[in-house]
Amino acid sequence: ARADALPRDLEGVHVVISAGGTREPLDPVRHLGNRSSGKQGYALARVAAQRGARVTLVTAHTQALAEPAGVDIRPVSTAAQLGEAVQDAARTADVIVMAAAVADFRPADTADYKIKKSDDNPDPDIKLVRNPDILAGLVRQRLPGQVIVGFAAETGDADGSVLDHATAKLKRKGCDLLVVNAVGEGKAFEMEENTGWLLSAEGLRERIPLGAKALLAATVWDAVTGLLHRPGK
Ligand code: CTP
Ligand code: CA
């Protein structure tokens, strides 16, 4: 859609979006990372800015992507840095969208020097520790009226379908909206197109058709504006 054809329904709204994948360093030259391209978070930022929002984009590692115009971009690397930057921006945010792929674990120790192979310890183990859940922290510290959106990439498994897992995650996380991407078999990661569901805490379940990441972004902002204009807000 052309920017001038979009509604200006996010005028005066401060949105904070996280994008990309965090990296957790092992030593100065190595890290644990993930395959997030950052495209969905950037599309959310671009569309929000086009619809009039003030946008803060906290971005971890992404593919080479064009910077969306009129967006305040804050680059970070690790989950800890991403958490700090998002929490800082959240103090004035009306809406927070956690589209970043945040590492669940980090190496317990980061070596100051490059780790060398050694015959004394031919098969070293890497000890991992849990990173804090940034989204859960934002929900705990939520400002009045603040709308919080999570993302979940799910595969179905023996314990349930993609939707079963996503519904449980929405409850567990306590956010207002959860965007669910079905992953695996070449879906979502590094792709131009995304498909999935948009689940709301109020029980709404919207199927997001296969389409450009900008289309998914528009669906998310439509739902967010609905929540911002809830009676009593
Ligand atoms: N998230 C976060 N902080 C973390 C991990 C995840 O804020 N340490 C956010 C992600 O940005 C996303 C949402 O939580 O918006 C869901 O991420 P996901 O990895 O699907 O959820 P987890 O609770 O980590 O569950 P899982 O065990 O399935 O990875
Ligand atoms: Ca996770």
Q: Give per-residue pLDDT as tens, 39-74.
A: 999 999 999 999 999 999 999 999 999 999 999 999
User: How many Å apart are CA 47 and CA 40, to the nearest integer?
Assistant: 11
Mutate to test the pocket of ligand 1, among 22, 23, 104 (most ligand atoms within 8 A of CB): 104
- Type of residue numbered 171: K
ipTM of the prediction: 0.99
Q: Is 105 annotated as a binding residue?
A: no
pLDDT per residue over 125-182, tens digit each? Answer: 999 999 999 999 999 999 999 999 999 988 889 999 889 999 999 999 999 999 998 8
Dump strand ranges (E) for 45-146. 54-59, 71-75, 95-98, 105-107, 128-130
The answer to whether the CB of 196 falls within 8 A of the CB of 189 is no
Write down the pTM of the prediction: 0.94
Taking the CA of 98 as reference, the closest ligand is 1
Q: For the range 4-9, what are the long-range contacts, defined as Cβ-Cβ under 8 Å and sequence gap of 24 or more? A: 6/47, 6/50, 6/51, 7/51, 8/51, 8/52, 9/51, 9/52, 9/221, 9/225
**pLDDT at residue 5 is higher than 70:** yes
Look up 34 and say whether it is catalytic: yes
The pLDDT confidence band at residue 185, using thresholds 50, 70 and 90, is low
> Which residue has the CA at smallest separation from atom 29 of ligand 1?
104
Which residue has better confidence, 183 or 149?
149
> For residue 211, what pLDDT is reported?
78
Q: Which of 34, 131, 181, 194 is catalytic?
A: 34
Q: Is 127 annotated as a binding residue?
A: no
